[in-house]
Amino acid sequence: MKRAGLFLLILWLALTLPGCAARGVKDAPALPKPQNTTAAQAKASPGRAAADLVPERLERNGEGVPVLRVYDVKNEKLEKLSVEDYLPAVLAGEMAGDWPMEALKAQAILARTFVLQFVAEKKSRYEGADISTDIEEAQAYDAAGVNERIRQAVAETRGLVLNAGGELPYAWFHAHSGGLTARAKEGLDYEKDEPGYTQCVKGMENDEAPPEAAHWEAAFTADEVIAAMKDVGAPITEVTGVSIGERGESGRAQTLIVSGREVSAPALRIALGSTKMRSCLLESLRVEDGQVKMKGRGYGHGVGMSQWGAYAMAKAGRTAEEIVTHYFKGVTLDQAWE
């Protein structure tokens, strides 16, 4: 994602996602927007190899790289791009180009995994497209932000994807975990069985993460809360009280009780605005002066890779492979094409 003041995600991970992007809720990171891991270093994955996980309906170019039909929302046109040619603009949209190389490479691996998983499971809302540059549908996209470091990160991870025991995982990520990452059911209100690769682990962020990514405060008027409650299917006519119902393993609110109505905390967060209610890791929640006031930690849904955690791990000398396997349990890096 982009640096302070430039880019805010979501956002992974409108919740389908993940967006990020099933897409989960894709959250635009607050501010930003292995040893080299090669095929020879990639561990053998149980089940199907990554090459077998590439959607069969995708054409291949002369180098054997899958080709995507990408709808460019900004220019309102459909174009064909190989996955490797599509990824630099995605990486530029999701992470600052001056970040540590291993963090950029980790994000590139997630982005590549994401697009293949999206094409395998979903249909683009744009006629004739496999995927689009619409962040509401898929990943962020910033062709103008591509620099040489971003191209290098994509090139050095060429063909590498996450393999979760013979399946492409949802490559969820968020800006800042607030200390601990979350499983999908907790952070995203994920309705299917909990994936075996999600886990609650230390976010690994360091003090270089901006204060507004690590901690936040927000206030909502009664009208805003009433409208959001209507959006999530729990209509109320006035705000008489608010409290946390259930918390998950990481401490995030899974449900909130508003005027006696219990609702999904992740769903209400999206309805209120995910760049304002930045997480469900709440430290304070109250009604005061006719407003609902809250404080919390972290930025995003908390599932998968913390971008500021990846930043800190890369600064500490960890590789892209070490970064992604810290956040995703039991996955391996596998070569989908050369």
Question: Per-residue pLDDT averaged across 13-28, rounded?
Answer: 38
Look at residue 7 in the predicted model and tell me its pLDDT. Answer: 36
Look at residue 48 in the predicted model and tell me its pLDDT. Answer: 84
Q: pLDDT tens digit string along 212-248?
A: 999 999 999 999 999 999 999 999 999 999 999 999 9
- Please, what is the average pLDDT of the chain? 89
Q: pLDDT tens digit string along 265-302?
A: 999 999 999 999 999 999 999 999 999 999 999 999 99
How does residue 1 score in pLDDT terms, banded at 50, 70 and 90? very low
Question: Per-residue pLDDT averaged across 301-330, rounded?
Answer: 98
Look at residue 42 in the predicted model and tell me its pLDDT. Answer: 40
pLDDT at 251 over 70: yes
pLDDT at 6 over 60: no
Question: Per-residue pLDDT averaged across 202-209, rounded?
Answer: 97
Q: Are 214 and 298 in contact (CB under 8 A)?
A: yes
Look at residue 267 in the predicted model and tell me its pLDDT. Answer: 98
Q: pLDDT tens digit string along 318-330?
A: 999 999 999 999 9
Question: Per-residue pLDDT averaged across 28-44, rounded?
Answer: 39
pLDDT at 34 over 80: no
Q: pLDDT tens digit string along 94-136?
A: 999 999 999 999 999 999 999 999 999 999 999 999 999 999 9
Q: pLDDT tens digit string along 42-76?
A: 444 347 898 999 999 999 999 999 999 999 999 99
Domain ranges of the chain: 50-208+301-335, 211-297
Question: Per-residue pLDDT averaged across 6-13, rounded?
Answer: 36
pLDDT at 36 over 90: no
